[in-house]
Amino acid sequence: MGGWESYVDAGGREVDQAAVLSLLGAVGIVVDGVYGVGARAGLPPRVADVATACRERGAHVVAVDLPSGLEADSCVVPPDAFSAVRTVTFGTYKRCHFFEPARSRCGRVTLVDIGLEPSGAGVVAWERADVAAAWPYPDATSDKYARGVVGVDTGSPDYPGAGVLSTLGAVYAGAGMVRSLGAERVFEAASRILPNVVRADGRVQAWLAGSGWGSHHDGRLAELLETGLPMVVDADGLAQVPDGLRRPDVLLTPHAGELAKLLGIERADVTADPVAAVRTAVKRFGTTVMLKGATQYVSGPDDDRVQLAVPGPAWTAQAGSGDVLGGICGTLLAAGLHPVVAAVCGASIQAMTAAAHPGPYPPQDLARMLPETIAGLRA
C-alpha cells in the first residue's frame, strides 16, 4: 500500500475500466504494472480488454519487468497479453525478453541495476561485439588451409538449389576453399556462378551435409562421420543421425518441426519450451544442436548453458535461408571454431546481414552481402 499512497500523494488518481478505455486516446504513455515475474501466462477478461484496446489504438505502453500476460521464463504469448514499446526490468533480464515471439511484445528492454548479485546464467544472449571477438579473421600468415577447406555434400538431382545455396553460404562466409563433392549436377550449377568452387578430392577440414538430399544418399552420413572431421548436418541428413553419436564436433541444425521429429514429440512441445528441447537433443545425440527459428538456440555436450544468436528480422523466414546458414557454419567449423561458437556466429552474421538490408531479399542475395557485414564487425 505504501507505493499506492505515494502515487496518490504525487497527484495520481484511481479510475475504473470504462475511464481507462476512454482515456487511451488522450494519454501519452500507459504504464503496465499489472503483473510481475511470478505470473502465469494470460490475463483476466477485464485486464485483457484493456490490453486489447491498447494494441488496437496504438497506445505507447511501458511495461514494468515484463508485459502483463507473458511469463518471465517462457516464450509463450497469449493473444491477450500487453504489447509494450519499452520494458523496464530490474535486477536481471528475463527469458521472455529474448525468446521469440515473446521478445517482440517487450519492445526495447532497459535493465535497471538494483544491486542484486547475478546467478549463473542458464541462457546467454550474444551481442554484436561477441561475434566480432569470436570471428576468425585472417592475418598475414593465413593461407587457404588456415582459413579452412569445406567439403560440401548437399543437394541432389531433385533439389540442386539446396546445394547451390549452401555453397554460396560457405564461399561468402570466407572459406579458404570449397569442395563440391555431392551430385555432379549440383557442382555444375554451383560452378556456373562460383567458379572458385572445385570438384577434385583433397584436403577437407569440415563437412556440410544433408540439405536437399531428398530420398537420395542413404547411408552417406555414416560414410562422412567415419572421416572423424567436424560436420554440419542439416535437413534430410538429420534422419540419418544415430542416437548416442557422442560427437560434440557434429552440429545438427534442425528447425522446430525437424527437432520434434528427431525427439518423437509434437512440434508444439518444441515451440513451447525450446530450451528444454535443445537440451534433450544434446543429451540424446551427444552432439552440438542449433534450433533454427526467430530465436536461434545453441547448446553442446560440454556446456550446460544455451546460447542465443543475435536476432534478426522475420524476413529471413523463407526457403533456402537454412541452406545458406549451413554453409556459413561449415566455413566456421573448417576455420577451427568451437562448434557452439561456429553455430552462434553463423546464425548471428546471417541475422545481422538481414537486419542491415531489411526487406524480402532472397537468401542467395543475402549470402552475397555477408562479406560487407563480416568486414564491418571490426570497423
pLDDT for the residue 121: 66
**Ranges of each domain in the chain:** 2-119, 128-376
pTM for the model: 0.91
Name every residue whose Cβ is closer than 8 Å to that of residue 336 and which is 6 or more positions away in sequence.
136, 148, 205
- Could you give phi then psi for residue 42, rounded to 5 degrees? 105, 165
CATH homologous superfamily, domain 2-119: YjeF N-terminal domain (3.40.50.10260)
d(CA 357, CA 315): 10
Task: Give the DSSP per-residue string, 48-77.
Answer: HHHHHHHHHTT--EEEESS-BTB-TT----
Spatial strand order in the sheet of 86-90: 30-32, 61-64, 86-90, 108-112
Grid coordinates standing for 264? 518423437
d(CA 200, CA 87): 55
pLDDT digits (tens, 9 = 90+) for 29-61: 999 999 988 888 899 999 999 999 999 999 999
d(CA 69, CA 82): 6
pLDDT for the residue 39: 85
Task: Give the DSSP per-residue string, 71-129.
Answer: -TT-----TTS---SEEEEESS--GGGTSTTHHHHH-EEEEE--SPPPPPPSEEE--HH
Q: Is the peptide bond before 101 cis (omega within 30 degrees of 0)?
A: yes
Q: Please count the other Cβ atoms lying within 10 Å of the Cβ belonging to residue 203.
A: 10
- Using 70 as the pLDDT threshold, list the residues of the chain that sit under it: 1, 117-121
Q: Where are the alpha helices (DSSP H) in the chain?
A: 2-9, 17-23, 45-56, 102-106, 128-134, 144-147, 160-172, 184-193, 220-225, 256-263, 267-272, 274-285, 321-334, 339-356, 363-376
Contact present, 138 and 111 (Cβ < 8 Å): no
End-to-end CA distance of the chain: 52
**Is the dihedral angle over the CA atoms 102, 103, 104, 110 positive or is it negative?**
positive
At the second CATH level, the architecture of 128-376 is 3-Layer(aba) Sandwich (3.40)
Q: Do 2-119 and 128-376 have matching folds?
A: no
Buried b (16+ CB within 10 A) or exposed e, 88-97: bbeeebbbbb
pLDDT for the residue 26: 82
pLDDT for the residue 232: 98
pLDDT for the residue 84: 96
